[in-house]
Each structure stands twice: as structure tokens, then as C-alpha cells.
Structure 1
Amino acid sequence: MATAIEPSYILSMTNKFNTIVTEHILDIFSNEHITVSKDDSNYPKAMNISGLSPSTVISHCVTSQNVAALKQLELWEFTCDYPYSVLYKIDELNEKQFKNKIEQLGLKQFDIASNEFDDLHHVIEHPVILEQDDLILFKFPLSFTAMHPTSGERLYLKYPIIGVVYCKEKVLEVRFNEISSLYLSKKSKDFYSENVRSVRAWFVSKFNLSISNFLLEEKVNNISNGSSIITAGKYMCFSDGGRACLELGKSDTLPLLDELKNIIAANREEFEKPEAKVITGLLNTFISQKEEQADNKWISLCWKGERKIDDIKVKFTFDYIDSDVCLLFHYSGPIGMERMNHVTRCIISN
């Protein structure tokens, strides 16, 4: 573990924090007495942030090598909500043997009280471990450098990739962020695919696990229950070459096929009359054939919350990385990894 870290690697991440994340980090700093709004004799080492903008507070903590702040940022890299993830199925997993193997490998456990920081690497190796309930999180801290194309400024990036092992459910989830093309010599899709495969290969190699692709398309197609989980959108490719991109409007019903089903259900008595038997049969056949024969390139699901702001929305893109390997795009929901954990466990249990 490193005893110091180049601030530029951290600033490249913190400078991209949106308002919600920035406020969340500042709340953590305040609760942990890393910062105070006025001088407080009880916390003489705390930084007085009166008059400073939120983003300036975080930048100052990083550039001044504030150890407590940097450790909280390292913890956040474990527990934040990442935009992308991929799920794999672990065929056999003995939790006790798995944890024993972690000790045998000498993998570093994250220690919030430590004065040491993550070692940065260029490849998937030497992760840092955090155990939380029945989850074991493996952080692979990668580093990248680049030259700004116009200013010539040297750019630095710390890029963590997280492997989450769900011990009870026997699932591996690989979580990752977007990365600027400035740091890449290849297409971003190839970059993401190679790193996801590398994380999977690392677990197979180090723990002698059998890890298989999670066949999610059928699960995702059937998981919507019309109340707490609804289909928010889908991209359908039909056998005749036609395509349709359907997304929710103001209602919770997808256009066309779902609207037709609702019309039939709402007017069941009319459609069940003898004189309507033929047209009802034709409509039901049309709907079922379109749904069964369509190749869904992606489907978006929405887990309804008590408030609109609590809704969790995830887009599932099928066969993205490899055949039968689905990319999850977590594009809306409450802050923190709990929403990702909830989606994964919901998928697994269905």
C-alpha cells in the first residue's frame, strides 16, 4: 500500500462529481469531523470550510493530502453507485473456503484508519478487499495517463473497477465507470469488454472458480409485474426486418402492444362477446406473435419507489460483451451502491 498518492489521480475523479455526490461527500466529511463550518476546539485538526464552495472543499482536502478525507474517498469508491455492471454466475462457492483463500493470497483488507493508500496498477491485479454483510468487494485500482490534445497538459486518472461477490447468491458482479477516450487507444466498448473479462479471469485463476454467463434476457422479460417493477422501454427487432423503440411517456404503459393489451383487458366484456370472437383472436395472436418473435436488443426496467426520486431505472443491453453477457446501465436512482445490490438480488431471486 502507498503512503502517498499523486493528487492529480484523485482530482480527475472528484472533479466529475455531480452536485448530489458532492453534497453526499461533504456530509461524510462533516459527520466524520474532517471539516467544520467554524473553528471547533474539540476538533483542532478539522478543516474550516466557511466561505468555500463545495467543490473547492474536496479539491483542497485532496491537494493538501488530508489522510482522513482521502480514506473516505477510497471507501466511497467501494460503496458508490457505478453506471455500468455485468453479472456472472458462480457455479459453486463455499464462503468459508473462499475467505480462507483470500487470507492465503495475502490480499489487503481496506482499513479506514490506515495511513496507507491504494497502490495503482496498469492491469487487473492486487485488489483491495472490503467485506460488508454477505458481500465481499474487490477493488482493482487502475491508473492511466494521457496528454491533452490542445493544451499538451499531462492528464492523470485513477479508475477503480469493482468485483462484488454475493456469497449467498453465488454471483459475481463487475462494476465500472465511463472513461474518457483521451485515455484509450481502442474503442471504449473494447476497453470495457477486456477489463470485464480480465476481472472474471482473475477470479477463475486465483480461486479456481467455475464462472458462467448469466442468461438474463428471459429473466428480464418476465420480471416486470406491472406494479412495483414496470417495463420502462425496449428496443424490438422483428422477423420481417421492422424495428421499434418503445419508451414510457407520462403513463406507466409502453406504447402500442401494452396499450392494446390494456384496451382488451379494460373492455373484456365487449371483446368476449360472440360477435367479437374473431377480432379478439386476431388481436391476441398479433400481440403474442410480435412479442415472441421479436429480438429485444435492450429492455429498461423501473423499480418503483415511494417517491418518484426513489425510482430505480436500469437498461439491460443483451449480448453486449460476449454472447449471453448482458450490460446493465444503472441510469437513475438513489445515491449509493444499495440500489445496485437491490437490482441484482431481485434479478437473482426471479
Structure 2
Amino acid sequence: MRRVPLALVLVCGVVLLVASCGWGRAADEGRMPGAPAGVTATAGSATSVHVMWNAAPRSAGVRTYEVYRDTTKVAEVPGAQHMVDVTRLRPSTRYAFTVRARDTAGRLGPPSAAVRARTPAVTAADRSAPTRPGKATGRAVGSRAAQLSWSASRDDRGVLSYDVYQGGVKIHSVGGNQTATVVTGLRPGGRYVFTVRARDAADNLSPAGAPVRLTTPGHDDGRNTAPASFTATAHRSGGAYYIDLAWDPPRVDGVITEYLIRLDGGTDSSLVWGGAPPSGRAHHSFYAGTAAGEEHRVRLRARLPDGTWGGWSAERTVTTGG
């Protein structure tokens, strides 16, 4: 068999999701999830509110969280996700939000305590972004959290909120009167770079503040964040060969929407879910050319909810037409 380099071509939008089969339910059989605690709601603009919450009690069996504006359901997210931006709201309006957990058996738990947020008024023709946040500092708080602080931005109409980014991914949001926060869900021994951007009521974003670099104490060899049960096979269709991948996503606190696929030890390409990512076993296929007998090596890793890359899966070898 001969080994050849191959440019990886991802087939857009072709992702087959297989529903998980009740994982994590054995210990909670017959018990619905409890009400989520720690719910907060912060206006993100004149037409949006950022809602966050803690995992519901007995969260191992939670399939989804449902977010309600008053009595209307406005969002539904996977059970690993604990925040969402509620959009299409009215300016200068006060809203109440609650969160409910639905388990893998379809049972809907009780609502959380209601939290309230008021959207600000629309500011006409506001195209001026807030200034860059300054004097950013941070320190690890144990092995799984970091405390960040920064000096306030200035804006001609007022700063409405601050967004916290890690690795280019927005992971947190706080109100415009808050210049410090604690980011959780980090990994022991992880190296992080955080930045903060200010947002006004017209959704104008400031430039990112100075990066805050820190390392959490402890050690993580990557095994707990690597895709598991990874397989690679090939099939022929329409005169061409395709490589078929399947894996179990890492069990992490948050939602994984992006993977990096490495082919033949050096060609990398991103796979990004445009819709809801799989909570169970995931499948993906990509074009591998028309020649039979070509051998390829492939593995992948996930971009974790904290913005860092997880561990690599096991490497698999696959032969077209083999």
C-alpha cells in the first residue's frame, strides 16, 4: 500500500447525529431533575439579555435546559450548557426569566427562582464603541477557576456589559457596573489567555483589553478531554472514496461545537457544528479522492468550552478500497 498526502475537504452540513441512549440515568432512575440554582440575567443590549445558571441537582440525567421569559419558552440548550443569550427583546422593557431542566426520560423539572432584567432604551445613531478595558489582572482560584478584574471602559452613552473571551470564544458576560468576575469550568494545569470587551446598548463592542495569561495549578494529561471510542473507516460512493469518522464527545462542563481533524500527521482542518452539537455519539464523513489502496492516518480533538484544545483521540489508520 502507498501513503500519499491528501488535502482534507470537509463536507459542509453533513453530520449524522445518533441520540445517546440514556447515559447517566441509572443513579437517577425515577427522579426528575431539581430546579437550577444560581440563575442570573444581565441585559446585553437594548434587545438581548444574557442568562446564566448552575447545573440542576441530579444533573447527570439532564438532556436539555429550557429558558422561559415569563411563561413563554424562548430557548432550549443542551444539558452541558449553562448560559444563553435571549434575543429579539423590546428596548426599555422589564423581563422575568426562569430555567427548567428536562431529563433523558423527557420529564420537565420545576422552574428556578425568577430573575429579572430590564433592557435599556435604544440610542439613536450610536456608532461609537466603548473604550478598551484597561489594567486587566487575573489569578487562579484553585485548579478549576480564575478571578479576573479590569478597569472600567468609557462610553458616551454608557457601558451596558462586559464580555469575557478565552481563545477567541465568548465564555462569560457581566453587567456594565461590574469590573471583576470569577470564571469557572477550567482544567487543572491549563494555560489560559483571557480578554475582556465592553458593549454598549447599541451592541457596539470595544477593542479587546490587554490579555491576562495564567496557568491553573495541577496536572491534566488530556485523557479526560479526548474524544473516546474513535473509529475511522472508508466507503465508496459515486466513483469516489470517503472516510467515515465516529466518536464519543468528551464529557466536559459546557458545549463542544468545534473539532480539529488531523490527517496523515500534518494536515489540519476544522469541523464546526452550525446547529446543536451532538450529545451522544457523533459521525462525520469527508472526501478522500478516487484512488483505491491509499492509506491515511487520522485523529481529532475538541475545542473545549473554556476555549482551549482538549487531548487528541487515538490515531486510526484507514485504507481506501481496503
- TM-score, normalised to structure 1's length? 0.29
Which protein has the bigger helix share? Answer: 1
Q: Which has the larger radius of gyration?
A: 1
Tell me which of the two structures has the higher relative contact order, counting C-alpha pairs closer than 8 angstroms and 6 or more residues apart.
Answer: 2
Q: Whose strand fraction is larger, Structure 1's or Structure 2's? A: 2
